[in-house]
Chains A and B, each alone.
Chain A
Amino acid sequence: MSEITILQNGRIIDPANKVDQRGDLWLRDGRVVAPESLVPEGARRFDLQGKWVVPGLIDMHVHLREPGEEYKETITSGARAAAAGGFTAVACMPNTKPVNDTAAVTRFILEQAVHASARVYPVGTISKGGGGTGLAEYGELKAAGVVAVSDDGQPVVDSQLMRRAMEYAASHGLLVISHSEEIALSRNGVMNEGQVSTRLGLRGIPCAAESIMVYRELALAELTGARVHIAHVSTGAATDLIRQAKKRGVRVTAETTPHYFTLTEEAVVGYNTNAKMNPPLRVEEDRQAIRVGLQDGTFDAIATDHAPHSVLEKQVEFDRAANGIIGLETSLPLTLALVRAGVISETRLVELMSTAPARILSVPGGSLAIGEVADVTVIDPERRFHFTEEGVVSQSKNSPFLGWQLQGKAVLTLLGGRITYNDLQD
């Protein structure tokens, strides 16, 4: 017997198919199907009263901590947080313990994800062991299921290795994701270098640490003709470099995160370890430049860099605190704030959070075309909620947005037609 779900009276926003209209979306047996004139018996129906119906959101940059640091997050808990944030798929970075540099680890991750509330796409390491020397076995990793390679958390210091990685990854149809950081400039730094770091007596990380390495990656992509994706861009300078490279036809895509377009280094004042991440929060000019980059298409995707840490890593001296914040449950509300501020349109939001990530990673979803997977997110752009530690679904609570009043959220998430999150209140 087939299972049918009908999302009625939604505002369907599906940029992949140039759709933005009121209507019904039919899902049957895990696929999007054409609406029929008669509602079959046993169909599950939701009257959405104009709420948005969009292709399931995809976060192409998360850390799920399993294997190795299950006390921070597991694939199950991370996927549950993803569903609560409106995501139906995530790409998980390889800096686990052990790192995902072999097919065995990739298969373990995929096995753990079989019953998870989101599709989990493993990212393999660029280098063997993630140690910055020698290439990981991309062919085997790809065959086991990785969608990209990255040494995220650390830059690839050796330029020749990065060049070879881009070339070799291209042969296997894999995307290289760059954590762009010139480590000689950022070493021991714990926040953005500037007035606030001086006032707080904290060691700074200059913007040049990011832009120098972004420039290298762009030059290597140009040299090799391979694709490169720049992760978590935090500065206006790097945004400019990417914009210019795109104009020249370099095969580059880029992501930024909600914290870079929402917060500045001022969030660190009071030595708030929940505002410590790498790259660090920058200044207002950078925040504005990132917003312009989202508007003009310099950025292809919004990712979260969801990085769960427990109090063990965060309730310590600022210098000793781990980098990173959770982001899956705040990404959509913070991006909706950009829509309300007139920075981006509703359509652009869906492109940045679903259509483009699917295209960049070459994975299913990102579209509500008939025959596509039934990964769907229903968004109530009006719903207000108080983001509190008690309300966090992720196993870790390290967010600088705790205590914020947020507006707009996912109220229904469907993965292959199955409900993974339901917060419809009517």
Chain B
Amino acid sequence: MVLADLGRKITSALQSLSKATIINEEVLNGMLKEICAALLEADVNIRLVKKLRENVRAVIDFEEIAGGLNKRRMIQSAVFKELVKLVDPGVKPYQPVKGRPNVIMFVGLQGSGKTTTCTKLAYHYLKKNWKSCLVCADTFRAGAYDQVKQNCTKARIPFYGSYTEVDPVVIAQDGVDMFKKEGFEIIIVDTSGRHKQEESLFEEMLAVSNAVGPDNIIFVMDATIGQACEGQAKAFKEKVDVGSVIITKLDGHAKGGGALSAVAATNSPIIFIGTGEHIDDLESFKTKPFVSKLLGMGDIEGLIDK
């Protein structure tokens, strides 16, 4: 689970504060070192980690604060504020509205899990009795339309695509128009994988976005990604109006810390996580409850609020 392991390591680092008889700069540095190492091992962006360390240090002035207990509490709450910042961009995700079309466009790097997650999301809404469907606007990847077709057929999700049309903008527009006319509520647009280094692919993404005018753009990120995430996520956000993040492949061993930098870079919350290859391996992600669960780990909530 995202950050769960990390939460434990951080709890143990914070406990070193409780064990220390006096709290001085050395103790603080030791603890910060432990926390930063844990963050880096979880692939959290190194710039974010350094910032976290600086921000915590900036709050703690050993000259000024007196009592040991006070110091402990200040340090702990400073650490947690910073951790919360990592997962919580402080904005609400887009909420689809019943009874009208909600166009949701998927974007992301190659192989991150867009197509699989598109079907999962359509299915998620289908089960809740929304009229949902899928448009395959990936004309590049070999077998992309077959993938959508097979997934959707199995899950009984209406879909639109073409074997002959090569322009994804045309397909996206036609598909969305058609489904809007037919009164669909959740219209999901799958797109090709792309990366910031290839400008033409980014232009194509913008063109698709302009053509369908999505209500929400979801950036899909693979949980195993390392330090390259931030640059890519930022570039996607600069090109199109990314509003939410989904982290996939969290059923593996990955902690998802790298993918978290997509939250900071796009200033968008995580709304779902992918936990497997099957259609129902999708879990809703709510930032606030997650954070309080993280805070609740170990004895931390107690430590901060007292």
The yes or no verdict on A and B being binding partners is no
Measuring CB to CB, which residues of chain A are less than 8 angstroms from any residue of chain B?
A: none
Measuring CB to CB, which residues of chain B are less than 8 angstroms from any residue of chain A?
A: none
